Amino acid sequence: MENIPLLRDIVVLMVVSIPIIILLTRLGLPTVIGFLMAGVIIGPFGLRLVHEAHEVETLSQIGIVLLLFTIGLEFSITKMLNIRREAVLGGGLQVLVTLLITLGAGLLFDYSFVVSLLLGFVVTLSSTAIVLKLLVDKGQVNTDHGNMTVGILLFQDICVVLMVMVLQSIGGEGDSSTFQVVTGLLLSLLSFAVIVVVVAFVIPRIFEQVVKLRNREIFILTILLACLGTAWLTSMFGLSLALGAFIAGLVISESEYSHQIVAEVIPFRDTFASLFFISIGMLLDFKYVIFHLPNLLLLVLAIIALKAVVIFVVGTVLRYRFRNTIIVALSLAQIGEFSFILIKMGEGYGLLGRDLYQSLLAASVITMALTPFIFMWSSKIASSAGRHLAKGGKDAELAGNGKEGKDGLKNHVVIIGYGVNGKHLAQVLKSTSIQHVILDINLTKIRSAKEDGHHAFYGDASHPELLRKMNLDKAKMLVVAISDPITTRRVVESSRRLNPSLSIIVRTRYLHEVEDLYKLGADQVIPEEFETSVEIFARVLKDYRIPNNIIQTQIEIVRQQGYAMFRSASVESERLTSLTSVLEESLMETFYVAAGCAVAGSTLAELDLRQQTGTSVIAVVRSGTAETNPPPTHKVAAGDILVMIGSHAQLNAAGILLSDACPSREVEQVQESDMKVQLNSDD
């Protein structure tokens, strides 16, 4: 039998972590805590259930890569330019001030300059993985405090390159000169610029061709290639994997298919990210923590306080709102995952003794474990502090969330599919100034919709994540106008869960699908098969010269019967019969008196239509002017239009009688709607 140790370890990870996560979810605690706890339990310092820890750690790095890739997709080049102040000035101040304070503290405690510098590097960095995941889960990436947080984190990630090179020069390669360090940094920055240009040119063109194939498997593989390939390429030039993945996501973010890519990547991202958090927990030596708990608690509190105060000062310098500044300060008050790289390098170069090494590892894991709790409390702490210090309180809280939501969409219509039905609906909504957004898997249709002036996005609507991107929870109506029955069912079911009060209208091809769609949550289902049958019988009646208003009445009757049967098969026949009889008593038809017709020159009394057929002439239209309720002495002239009222049979008899008087004329029918306009204008 085959024996795959890594597979066994992954199974153990899942078996241990899933029950813990279920328990914590019921308690309302973040899932990140569950993964960290699972790592502590099964790790080499716990029950030692995992034997391939290095392989698990390698897989976990893919989670970080995918996480940064999706964050890049959430952003755009424009947004990056908008937060350059936060990234360059905010991130630069945070890194410099934290580094200097930690360096000074290290020297104060009699550590060497090199060790103190290493401690500064370690403490300066925050956890990109945990903080960004919390922001993504809460939908706060694009808020004011989200922009500042992302800007500082990105600057920190770029600084990792410089920190690694400095450690290599003073640790492993002590003979490296300052010139070599600076040269290496400039080459890294040049490599970064080249990679950005190449990726921006190549990746969109690859996706352009792949999307045309309409093949989901190839599409997913191309996504992974773009993400992992760019990450690998950046690592070849000494940059971090995560930074490369972020570049790839940023490049694709401007394309029409970015939302679909996010929906496809999320399952991979969450799976591998869970491995990352478990691998972090596996690093913690629980026995060491117990024996050195007082000192570790002091170290953890000192790190959190230092980073929070520094970032608060930075936010104040940037003139951020008081509430947002506190949230960012508390959110970034931990040691990051890239610090583990620096800690291991320091141990390898002999810069860190065992106690200092274990203390830094423990402090890093503990601060990361506390981050979800601090993040949950940060808004309340900020609001409370604002009220006490008169810095904004509730007003600041409201302002801090001002950027949430996509393009301010609310009470809008979400249209799935930009075919004939979707296109016509979108045109009507646009002309009536009703907000709407279109989602379609066909890129050509999406571009056509954008050219027509609509908000349109590429993507498979069966992904709930894409429906969230369309602000479905705030929408008033969803119209599903696609031909795929499986996708239609998924969309209806997911949409009803996301927004219970949403009005859902669905177009389907076949009658047998109607009842199931109602059960899944649709409010109205329009079967294409049934509407085709209505159109067929309407055209047949037109060929037999049946008056248009009679045809329209029959269509309405059939629709009421048909749709009621599809929904519940319980139409009240007596009500329908009553409705039909009422309509039959109030039907209206027109007759055009052509030149040479024997009717011309006769009065209405002489025609005596009432006595002969039972119909009544309620108006005569002459030269665009209508005379309503004409007297019996009214003389009919060529070119007149007689407006008659009666039942089906009565109007049919009147038509035959008048037609016999005009054997050589060409019958011209006038639409009832046009007649109403003329009558109203006369009144």
For 55-399, which CATH class? Answer: mainly alpha
Find out whether 679 and 626 touch, Cβ atoms under 8 Å: yes
Region 381-410 average pLDDT: 53
Tell me which residue has tokens 């054997």: 663
Residue 168: the pLDDT is 67
CA 592 to chain CA mean position, Å: 58
Q: Which of 680, 671, 538 is nearest to 592 (CA)?
A: 671
Distances, alpha carbon 441 to alpha carbons 365, 446, 458, in Å = 43, 8, 6
Residue 477: the pLDDT is 92
**Confidence band of 667 (pLDDT split at 50, 70, 90):** very low
Q: Which CATH superfamily is domain 585-683 in?
A: Regulator of K+ conductance, C-terminal domain (3.30.70.1450)
Q: Which of 297, 216, 231 is nearest to 261 (CA)?
A: 216
Quick check: helix, strand or coil at residue 527?
strand
Tell me which residue has tokens 């109602």: 518
Please state, in angstroms and rounded to a whole number, the distance separating the CA atoms of residues 226 and 253.
Answer: 13
* Tokens of residue 462, six digits: 């069966």
pTM of the entire predicted model:
0.55
Q: Which CATH fold would you assign to the domain 413-506?
A: Rossmann fold (3.40.50)
Region 120-128 average pLDDT: 91
* Segment 637-660, tens digit of pLDDT: 988 888 888 877 888 888 888 888
* Tokens of residue 483, six digits: 């031909």
Please state, in angstroms and rounded to a whole number, the distance separating the CA atoms of residues 611 and 605.
Answer: 10
Residue ranges of domains in the chain: 55-399, 413-506, 509-518+526-583, 585-683
* Segment 243-302, tens digit of pLDDT: 788 788 878 877 777 778 877 887 877 777 788 778 878 877 888 888 989 999 999 999
Q: Residue 206 carries which side chain, given as an amino acid letter? A: I
Characterize the bridge pairing of strands 477-480 and 413-416: parallel
Please state, in angstroms and rounded to a whole number, the distance separating the CA atoms of residues 385 and 65.
Answer: 36
Distances, alpha carbon 572 to alpha carbons 276, 412, 515, 534, 564, in Å = 63, 35, 19, 21, 10
Percentages of the chain per state (helix, strand, coil), in multiples of 5: 65, 10, 25
Region 540-564 average pLDDT: 66
Which DSSP state fits 645?
E
Please state, in angstroms and rounded to a whole number, the distance separating the CA atoms of residues 137 and 141.
Answer: 9
Residue 461: the pLDDT is 85
Please state, in angstroms and rounded to a whole number, the distance separating the CA atoms of residues 677 and 683.
Answer: 10
**Confidence band of 53 (pLDDT split at 50, 70, 90):** low
* Tokens of residue 643, six digits: 């407006």
- Region of 330 (left: φ > 0; alpha: ψ -120 to 50; beta: rest) is alpha
**pLDDT for residue 7 is more than 60:** yes
Residue 118: the pLDDT is 92
